[in-house]
């Protein structure tokens, strides 16, 4: 006969080795935790904190870290009209909960248990609590405490026991102090926080840039150049500004009376990048198109005068290009078998003809092949390569003997050259033509051909074009240290295609780059933005570019 007692789901046995040596009642703990969590989900702070106060001196109740973090969050999210407690009372309550959380975590660490360890969320919640109370220095100190695993107290590392558990702060850990310093006008300390975020390798969002540009606008007399440095940093970090960010940028330019004029530009010619602004908004003596014509047109009304400027293509600078090439090369070598990738790099260097037009063979050959029984389409690949020869390269099929001419290069995985489609007479003919023209590189077994064609395109320089519809959003590309660099490179070099009944269309990159642009010579800025109203967001089919506008800011004479 089995004497082991079988418990019902709600008849959970007590667990020895509880808080302060007591016995944990798991059922009572569960009920208390659920009551707090449910109250928090309804933002019922009174019930959540009352339940916690009733339980905190009961050694039979051991609340998990998640519930304590929920309570910390409630302390940091008090509505100004909440009559239950003041901000100061919330801070005192948060410190008490945080001390308990740290103490519980240290005890669990001593026992080498993982279930109740502290997390970054605890420090982030405390950073929010202090920032809400105007204690921005304490809010920023939580970042260092998070890194060092310390608790609140005196001294740089806190007064609690330093543990072996080191945590990594997130952007949200820094954000409360950054916003607090900005809102209080302390732009120097805000810059300290911003620099700390960058040192940690975190990417700032529009929220952080908005806060910085807002404080620069309010304190422009003492930090104008700092504001322009932030705008230049935004060139590579922000593609288009949202509503709040563009408003903060415009306020920055307008903060000094009679220094800058701003005008919204809604129409930029897609084929040339040209745009017009009112002549009253432009600087005297500009060298841009139509300036002389406008100045000489004495019979025209001032309000009707227009002046023309041009947006430009903006690529990666030399440092950014080297960084992207190095990061792709490093990841490829770590993931490719043996010396495969190094052999490929040697092939690139030894090749007599410069590789300028790179074709993602798999992407081209499998385009439109989303039906039952479909296979790799060599005829489609041949048509695209022929169009590349015509458009980008100084060669044709007839002069195959001249290896010094620039040629498109197709990258194909080895299995694509040995499957059923490749063994077909038509497939064999196209593969032989590519080999004869030295227009193919076959990646070896066990390799990822993405690394090869991407690396070849990156090292090809400013004139390179990559023929591919690949959006490069999968995990392979997200492993790059700075995916933003790849996004910017794609906008400048990726050529998309379509093939319909053998007819090939290649879609060139835009003649200008959608990013913040500065013309130092003529002293004007063009800043792209989207008016992200709720009505516009309802239609997911809308093309963002259709709603794109530009803020033109020019220096007055």
CATH code of 248's domain: 1.25.40.10
For 42, half-sphere exposure in the C-beta direction (CA atoms, 13 angstrom radius) is 9
**C-alpha to C-alpha distance for 457 and 117, rounded to whole angstroms:** 46
Q: Would you say residue 89 lies in a domain?
A: yes
pLDDT value at residue 536: 44
State whether 356 and 234 are in the same domain: no
Residue 380 sits in the same domain as residue 487: yes
Q: Is the pTM of this model over 0.95?
A: no
Q: Which of 507, 523, 544 is the last residue of a domain?
A: 507
Last residue of a domain, one of 232, 254, 276: 254
Long-range contacts of 346-352 (CB under 8 A, 24+ apart): 347/441, 348/456, 348/459, 352/403, 352/404
Considering the domain boundaries, does residue 356 fall inside one?
Answer: yes
Q: What is the pLDDT of residue 258?
A: 85
Residue 263 lies in a domain: no
Question: In this predicted structure, what is the pLDDT of residue 71?
Answer: 93
Range(s) of the domain holding residue 96: 26-152+166-254
The enclosing domain of 466 has a CATH number of 3.40.50.11980
Residue 496's nearest CA partner among 469, 458, 463, 464 is 469
Q: How many domains does the chain have?
A: 2
Residue 522 lies in a domain: no
Q: Are residues 432 and 356 in the same domain?
A: yes
Residues 202 and 333 placed together within one structural domain of the fold = no
DSSP state of 77: T
Residues 323 and 220 in one domain: no
CA 156 to chain centre: 32
- Residue 411 belongs to some domain of the structure: yes
Domain match, 98 and 224 both = yes
For residues 243 and 323, membership in a common domain is answered with no
334 belongs to a structural domain: yes
Q: Is 500 helix (H, G, I), strand (E, B) or coil?
A: strand
244 & 375 share domain: no
Query: What's the CA gap between 532 and 304, in Å, rounded?
Result: 30
Structure confidence at residue 420 (pLDDT) = 87
Which of these three, 203, 219, 254, is where a domain ends? 254
Q: Specify the pairing of strand 517-519 against strand 524-530.
A: antiparallel
- Looking at the domain assignment, is residue 520 inside a domain? no
Position 121 scores a pLDDT of 92
- Per-residue pLDDT tens over the stretch 454-468: 999 999 999 899 999
Q: Is the domain of 203 the same as that of 337?
A: no
**In the chain, which residues have pLDDT < 70?**
1-22, 78-82, 108-117, 150-165, 280-304, 394-405, 532-546
pLDDT the model gives residue 241 = 96
Query: Do 431 and 345 lie in a common domain?
Result: yes
129-164 pLDDT, tens digit each: 999 999 999 999 999 999 887 666 544 444 455 555
Residue 44's alpha-carbon distances to 50, 67, 122, in angstroms, are 10, 14, 20
Domain contains 177 = yes
Residue closest to 378 by CA, chosen among 427, 415, 432: 427
Give the pLDDT of residue 485: 92
Angle at 241 between CA 516 and CA 517, to 5 degrees: 5
337, 209: one domain: no
**Which residue carries 């409630």 as its tokens?**
74
Together in a domain, 249 and 324: no
């Amino acid at each position: 006969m089995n004497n082991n007692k079988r418990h019902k789901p709600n008849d959970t046995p007590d667990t020895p080795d509880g808080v302060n040596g007591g016995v944990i009642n798991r059922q009572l703990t569960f009920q208390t935790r659920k009551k707090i969590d449910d109250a928090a989900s309804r933002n019922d702070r009174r019930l959540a904190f009352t339940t916690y106060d009733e339980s905190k001196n009961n050694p039979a109740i051991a609340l998990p870290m998640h519930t304590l973090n929920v309570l910390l969050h409630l302390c940091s999210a008090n509505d100004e009209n909440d009559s239950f407690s003041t901000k100061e009372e919330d801070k005192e309550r948060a410190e008490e909960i945080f001390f308990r959380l740290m103490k519980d975590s240290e005890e669990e660490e001593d026992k080498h248990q993982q279930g109740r360890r502290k997390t970054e969320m605890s420090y982030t919640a405390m950073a929010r609590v202090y920032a809400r109370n105007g204690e921005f220095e304490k809010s920023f100190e939580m970042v260092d405490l998070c890194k060092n695993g310390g608790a609140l107290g005196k001294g740089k590392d806190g007064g609690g026991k330093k543990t072996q558990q080191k945590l990594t702060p997130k952007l949200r850990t820094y954000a409360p102090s950054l916003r607090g310093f900005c809102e209080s006008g302390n732009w120097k300390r805000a810059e300290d926080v911003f620099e700390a975020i960058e040192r940690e390798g975190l990417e700032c969002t529009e929220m952080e840039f908005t806060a910085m540009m807002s404080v620069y606008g309010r304190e422009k007399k003492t930090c104008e150049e700092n504001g322009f440095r932030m705008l230049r940093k935004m060139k590579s970090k922000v593609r288009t500004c949202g509503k709040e960010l563009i408003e903060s940028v415009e306020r920055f330019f307008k903060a000094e009376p009679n220094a800058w004029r701003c005008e919204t530009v809604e129409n930029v010619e897609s084929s040339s990048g040209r745009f017009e602004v009112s002549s009253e908004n432009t600087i005297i003596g500009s060298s841009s198109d139509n300036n002389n014509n406008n100045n000489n047109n004495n019979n025209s009304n001032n309000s009707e005068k227009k002046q023309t400027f041009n947006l430009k293509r903006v690529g990666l600078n030399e440092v950014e290009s080297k960084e992207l090439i190095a990061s792709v090369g490093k990841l490829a070598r770590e993931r490719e078998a043996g010396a495969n990738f190094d052999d490929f790099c040697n092939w690139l260097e030894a090749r007599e003809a410069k590789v300028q037009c790179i074709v993602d063979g798999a992407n081209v050959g499998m385009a439109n092949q989303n039906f039952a029984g479909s296979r790799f389409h060599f005829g489609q690949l041949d048509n695209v390569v022929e169009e590349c020869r015509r458009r980008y390269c100084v060669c044709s099929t007839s002069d195959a003997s001249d290896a010094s001419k620039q040629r498109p290069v197709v990258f194909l995985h080895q299995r694509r050259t040995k499957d059923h489609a490749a063994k077909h007479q038509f497939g064999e003919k196209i593969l032989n033509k590519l080999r004869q023209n030295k227009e193919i590189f076959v990646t070896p077994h066990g390799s990822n051909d993405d690394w090869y064609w991407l690396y070849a395109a990156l090292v090809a320089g400013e004139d390179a074009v990559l023929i591919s519809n690949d959006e490069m959003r999968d995990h392979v590309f997200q492993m790059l240290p700075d995916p933003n660099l790849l996004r910017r490179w794609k906008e400048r070099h990726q050529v998309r295609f379509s093939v319909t009944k053998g007819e090939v269309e290649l879609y060139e990159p835009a003649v200008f780059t959608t990013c913040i642009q500065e013309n130092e010579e003529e002293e004007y800025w063009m800043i792209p933005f989207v008016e992200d109203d709720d009505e516009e967001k309802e239609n997911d089919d809308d093309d963002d570019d259709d709603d794109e506008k530009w803020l033109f800011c020019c220096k007055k004479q």
